[in-house]
Structure 1
Amino acid sequence: MSLPPDTRSAPSRWDRPLRFSHVAIVGKYHAPGARNAVDEIANFLHGEGCDVSLEKETAANTGLLQYPALDVPAMGKACDLALVVGGDGTMLGIGRQLARYGVPLVGINQGRLGFITDIPFDSYREKLRPILRGAYEEDARALMAATVWRDGRCVFEATALNDVVVNRGGVASMIELRVEVDGHFVANQRADGLIIASPTGSTAYALSAGGPLLHPGIGGWVMVPIAPHTLSNRPVVIPAHSEIAVEIVSGRDASANFDMQSLTSLLHGDRIVVRRSEHALRLLHPVGWSYFDTLRKKLHWNEGA
């Protein structure tokens, strides 16, 4: 007598154990509807079996005080995943801080472009479930470490994920910059400024200034002049291990900004030195994610084709 066939189904992939059990949420808390979005996602994570904490400022500004509120060092120590709800600016801000702890980040887009916050809010449930259980594409993004030197002293330092920008002030005149790479003189440039961008930042200000798109897998930076006086002064891609130094030769009210989120004024003779940071941002994407899919969607390629 034969036995009936085993009709039990194979275990669902949703039955896999959680890869990430303690998730921190970072929200763009000034945006309309941010509180409801953060609360909804936190409830979803609880339902998936995760412990949930909120980044300290997110908790304070949304009033969602039923969740533990953690500052960045505490998040780096206690959490194994950070979920960023907002736009690329929100991701830039928290990503620079968490990179040193090796905590991976996932971006849920409530902004406009969303090059690095790439999961649409209306589909976060179906995208997050497999990620929480270890099914994802990991993407490492290099960071830049920048310092400003004046009379032999470091007077400012910052980390950037997108770009370091040296530019003129509000006066309608150019600045002159002396540019060196690895101690070798490149050129004295007269322009409105200079952008030093990572592959991540190649889709930001550098793109608007005429720079190339760099795949995030490329180990390099791009130097893009802003409205140069000499038209042959073109963008240059250089290796990521290179050190770039920019000295202010002349011009009024020059400044340097880092990811457009921190700023310092510059004087004649100041040197801005940019090198690769020892830390990298870990981004997680849904399985099947492609950088080219992101470009095609965000830059509206093939529309009408």
Structure 2
Amino acid sequence: MKIAVYGREFHPSVIPYVQHLFDSLAAKGAELWIYGGFRDFLNEQRVVYPPNLNTFVAKEGLPADVGFMLSLGGDGTMLAAVSIVADSGIPVAGINFGRLGFLADISKDDIEVSMEAIFRGDYDIQKRTLVSVESTQAELFDGNHFALNDVTLFKSDSSAMITINAHVNGELLNAYWADGIIVATPTGSTAYSLSCGGPILMPGSGNFVITPISPHNLNVRPMVISDEVELVLDIESRSGKFLLSCDSKTTAVSSDIRLTVRKAHYQANLIRLTNYSYFATLRNKLLWGLDARNY
């Protein structure tokens, strides 16, 4: 089986787990395709990987019959991996070497049993909606303008707020006076949007959430909208520009640009082992049901 591997630099303490993973893949005769920059890091750490190994830097460098991609790291690494496979349909499984692990849900202590299950085909594919941001006035993020978590607008190099005029299907929703706004998918509703007071959306619910960042008017609250609508954003800023992020990608954009935000034309395919439970993940990661008085 051909397997793609994506990762970024991480703490040396997890190197033994990475070595264990490659030893397991080698024993199964897997043909590996490793992200070029990550291979350089592995060489520096003297990780031994199978000899039948190739490198890639983009989805175009992967063979059409790749079975799946392994993301080695935290949720940020998982977002980058999903961005690389883009609309290729390649399923992605995340081994968590980070902290939270909402997306990268395979524990580093369960590598062996998890790889056995995946090679047996004992898993489900969970489809996750992505959000797209575009402008007819500029090319954004070199065409890679899709996000699994969220599209976010921030004020730039000024302490002054920005004004974001948001239209839903051509009708004015609100003029947000704020430090910015977040347009989050259900996947991203447990990320930055949640920390700014947004609600949690269940994957597959068919919604996005618009969450203002430090709004001037305290009665302006997060709003859930259908993911079938077209959201058009016009920005006013004293500095003449603002920051636009698309998951882990960020760029400075002129405030005379109009942005269109809508559901992406494809979905991400996430590998979930059969013992995976979304609600159990919420309970465990958010410490629901625990009495803080016991700590």
* Offset, 1:219: 1.3
**Residues 224-273 of structure 1 deviation map (CA, whole Å, 9 limit, x = unaligned):** 011111122111111112111111123334211111x2222233322121
Question: What does residue 121 of structure 2 align with?
Answer: 134
Q: Is the 8 A contact 2:67 2:90 kept in 1?
A: yes
Q: 1:255 aligned to 219, 238, 243, which one?
A: 243
Q: Secondary structure at the match of 1:206?
A: helix
* Offset, 1:71: 3.0
Q: Which runs of 5+ in 1 are unaligned?
A: 1-20
Question: What does residue 55 of structure 2 align with?
Answer: 69
Larger Cα Rg: Structure 1 or Structure 2?
A: 1
User: Which residue identity does 1:156 align to in structure 2?
Assistant: L
**1:236 partnered with 2:246:** no
Matches within 5 A, 1:126-165: 126-149=113-136, 153-157=137-141, 158-165=145-152
The CA RMSD over aligned residues, in Å, is: 1.9
Matches within 5 A, 1:9-88: 21-33=1-13, 35-63=15-43, 66=51, 67-72=53-58, 73-75=60-62, 77-88=64-75
Q: Is the 8 A contact 2:158 2:238 kept in 1?
A: no
Q: Secondary structure at the match of 1:242?
A: coil
User: Which residue identity does 1:229 align to in structure 2?
Assistant: H
* Offset, 1:211: 0.3
Q: Is the 8 A contact 1:243 1:273 kept in 2?
A: yes
* Offset, 1:76: 5.4
Q: Secondary structure at the match of 2:12?
A: coil
Q: Is the 8 A contact 1:55 1:70 kept in 2?
A: yes
TM norm structure 2? 0.89
User: How far apart, in 1, do the equivalents of 2:6 and 2:253 lie?
Assistant: 33
User: How far apart, in 2, do the equivalents of 1:33 and 1:128 lie?
Assistant: 21
* Offset, 1:179: 0.4
**1:273 partnered with 2:260:** yes
Q: Secondary structure at the match of 1:207?
A: helix
User: How far apart, in 1, do the equivalents of 2:255 and 2:30 lie?
Assistant: 53
Matches within 5 A, 1:154-193: 154-157=138-141, 158-193=145-180
Q: Is the 8 A contact 1:148 1:273 kept in 2?
A: yes
User: How far apart, in 2, do the equivalents of 1:81 and 1:142 lie?
Assistant: 19
**Residues 169-200 of structure 1 deviation map (CA, whole Å, 9 limit, x = unaligned):** 24322111110112221111111111000111
**1:117 partnered with 2:97:** no
1:227 to 1:121, Cα distance in 2 relative to 1, 3 A: same
**Residues 129-173 of structure 1 deviation map (CA, whole Å, 9 limit, x = unaligned):** 112211112211111121245xxx224241111111111124322
Q: Which runs of 5+ in 2 are unaligned?
A: none
User: How far apart, in 2, do the equivalents of 1:141 and 1:112 lie?
Assistant: 22
TM norm structure 1? 0.86
User: Which residue identity does 1:256 align to in structure 2?
Assistant: L
Could you tell me the percent identity over the aligned residues? 33
**Farther off after superposition, 219-228 or 268-277:** 268-277
Instruction: State the number of aligned residues.
Output: 281
Q: Secondary structure at the match of 1:233?
A: coil
User: How far apart, in 1, do the equivalents of 2:175 and 2:280 lie?
Assistant: 39
Q: Secondary structure at the match of 2:215?
A: coil
* Offset, 1:36: 4.3
